[in-house]
């Protein structure tokens, strides 16, 4: 059974919830972005459009919901909801914004103010077939559509004024269908059937939601790993980033990956003993071989050695690889310091080289969108500091393993190696994976 959210930023939305339940939906009020992302469709109810705009801005919903709509979220807007779905407004207040999505110009309060609210029967065509009996429509301070774009379907007109439109999985009406016993709009807007489908064309949103869930899961794992690094750095070197360069770099990397400041602060407190709940982590490195004879190093930071070993072993064996004895692979890698610098129009490779030349840098390489600065691990802080003193912002600074030789992979081998690396990185205990492969640009394009 599909879940339909009703945007509950102002007023009473119980009529909308009851109407949706009556046509077979799981109806729920939604206010936060995470709640909206979790539903299969959205209703934007009537009310005062300027208040709705300001509340949406206060809840930081304007741009995110606009993106969800662009990504295919099915939406029905009534009255003020029609205004919020319009790409353009007439008679809007200064600075007023909408979610947009429908190529139309909406006029606020077009039918008059509260005293001019009214009821009458109208004809709407929500499908290719005639809808039979007229709809009993309730208009309250209603807008109308002043102009509709060529790709917008006009579903209803009252006295020459457009009162209902549709484009793709977006439908908007000037009337309030939730205030009558006529449920044809609710039932057809989201096209409920025995399989619980929502709207023709809803599959794009379902696909988008799935992809976003995957991205969010990966981001959650990344956040957890970055926070773990911060906690361990604070435990080993103290809670002051000024005197603990490892902690400084861990915090910078977490911030650049958008880890919330509260998460970072709590990790520092746990690591320094100022807050309970910190775990005892240990570093473990596993070695192995992947498809095509690729050498693989796996760095883990774990509070459960048995779990980490099991995760790594399973990832290798299920993806065409095998574990190796300590030392059988690591000799193919060198420990180095790696600082990544984002490119700008003004920044050249020579600028980076001049900044780090006397700080111990061994190489500066142009990677296309970024520059990489390679040094001995002991010189990495000096390199990072030299960049900062030269006014050059850096993306990350980490000790890494770089291969001393690389194996060229064909398309099939590359696909299998990437699958192995993804499986290893999926473990919460795995912090970094290094492998000595080389894949051509042409193969990378094919693999996406």
300 is catalytic: no
Give the whole-angstrom CA distance, residue 410 versus residue 408.
Answer: 7
Residue in 15, 35, 60, 79 annotated catalytic: 79
| Residue 135: strand pairing partners | 122
Spatial CB neighbours of 257, under 8 Å, sequence gap ≥ 6 = 222, 223, 226
Residue 339, sorted as left (phi over 0), alpha (psi -120 to 50) or beta, turns out to be beta
Q: Which of 396, 392, 367 is nearest to 257 (CA)?
A: 396
Q: Going along 45-112, which residue ranges are E strands?
A: 75-78, 86-90, 102-107
Q: Is 437 helix (H, G, I), strand (E, B) or coil?
A: strand
Q: What phi, psi does 152 have (nearest 5°)?
A: -95, 130
Neighbours of 164 (CB within 10 A): 28
Give the whole-angstrom CA distance, residue 204 versus residue 221.
Answer: 26
Q: Which of 252, 324, 233 is nearest to 287 (CA)?
A: 324
176 is catalytic: yes
Residue with tokens 């439908």: 171
178 is catalytic: yes
Neighbours of 11 (CB within 10 A): 13
CB 40 within 8 A of CB 156: no
Spatial CB neighbours of 243, under 8 Å, sequence gap ≥ 6 = 237
203-237 vs 245-256: helix crossing angle, rounded to 10 = 170
Residue with tokens 């500066």: 364
Q: Euclidean distance between the first and final Cα of the chain, in Å?
A: 35
| Token pair listed for 38 | 């979790």
Give the whole-angstrom CA distance, residue 132 versus residue 2.
Answer: 27
Residue in 16, 37, 176, 300 annotated catalytic: 176
Q: What phi, psi does 56 have (nearest 5°)?
A: -60, -40
Q: What is the DSSP string of 344-406?
A: -SS--HHHHHHHHGGGTEEEEEE-SSEEEEEE-GGGHHHHHHHHHHTT---SEEEEEEEESS-
CB 113 within 8 A of CB 79: no
Residue in 178, 202, 287, 300 annotated catalytic: 178
| Token pair listed for 246 | 């490892």
The residues carrying an active-site annotation are 79, 176, 178
């Amino acid at each position: 059974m599909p879940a339909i959210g009703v945007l509950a930023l102002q007023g009473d939305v119980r009529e909308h919830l009851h109407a949706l339940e009556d046509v077979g939906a799981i109806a729920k009020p939604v206010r936060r972005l995470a709640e909206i992302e979790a539903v299969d469709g959205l209703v934007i109810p009537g009310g005062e459009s300027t208040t709705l705009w300001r509340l949406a801005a206060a809840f930081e919903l304007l741009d995110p919901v606009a993106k969800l709509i662009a990504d295919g979220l099915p939406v029905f807007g009534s009255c003020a909801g029609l205004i919020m779905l319009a790409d353009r407004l007439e008679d809007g207040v200064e600075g007023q914004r909408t979610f947009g999505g429908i190529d139309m110009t909406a006029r606020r309060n077009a039918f008059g103010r509260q005293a001019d609210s009214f009821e009458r029967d109208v004809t709407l065509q929500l499908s290719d077939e005639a809808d039979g009996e007229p709809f009993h429509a309730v208009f309250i301070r209603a807008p109308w559509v002043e102009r509709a774009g060529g790709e917008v379907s006009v579903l209803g007109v009252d006295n020459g004024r457009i009162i209902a439109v549709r484009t793709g999985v977006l439908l908007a009406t000037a009337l309030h269908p939730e205030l009558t016993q006529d449920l044809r709009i609710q039932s057809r807007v989201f096209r409920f059937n025995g399989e619980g489908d929502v709207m023709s064309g809803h599959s794009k949103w379902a696909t988008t939601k799935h992809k976003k869930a995957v991205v969010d899961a990966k981001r959650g794992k990344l956040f957890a790993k970055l926070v773990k690094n911060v906690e361990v750095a604070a435990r080993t070197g103290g809670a002051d980033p000024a005197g603990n360069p490892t902690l400084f770099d861990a915090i910078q990397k977490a911030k650049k990956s958008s880890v919330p400041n509260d998460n970072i602060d709590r990790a520092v407190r746990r690591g320094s003993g100022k807050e309970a709940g910190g775990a005892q982590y240990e570093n473990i490195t596993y070695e192995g071989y992947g498809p095509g004879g690729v050498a693989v190093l796996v760095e883990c930071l774990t509070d459960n050695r048995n779990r980490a070993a099991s995760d790594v072993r399973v990832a290798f064996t299920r993806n065409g690889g095998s574990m190796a004895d300590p030392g059988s692979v690591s000799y193919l890698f060198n420990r180095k310091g790696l600082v990544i610098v984002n490119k700008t129009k003004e920044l050249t490779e020579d600028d980076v080289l001049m900044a780090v030349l006397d700080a111990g840098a061994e190489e500066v390489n142009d990677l296309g969108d970024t520059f990489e600065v390679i040094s001995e691990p002991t010189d990495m802080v000096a390199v990072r500091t030299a960049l900062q003193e030269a006014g050059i912002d850096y993306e990350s600074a980490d000790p890494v393993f770089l291969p001393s030789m690389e194996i060229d992979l064909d398309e099939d081998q590359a696909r299998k190696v990437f699958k192995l690396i993804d499986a290893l990185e999926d473990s919460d205990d795995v912090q970094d994976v290094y492998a000595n492969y080389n894949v051509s640009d042409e193969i990378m394009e094919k693999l996406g």
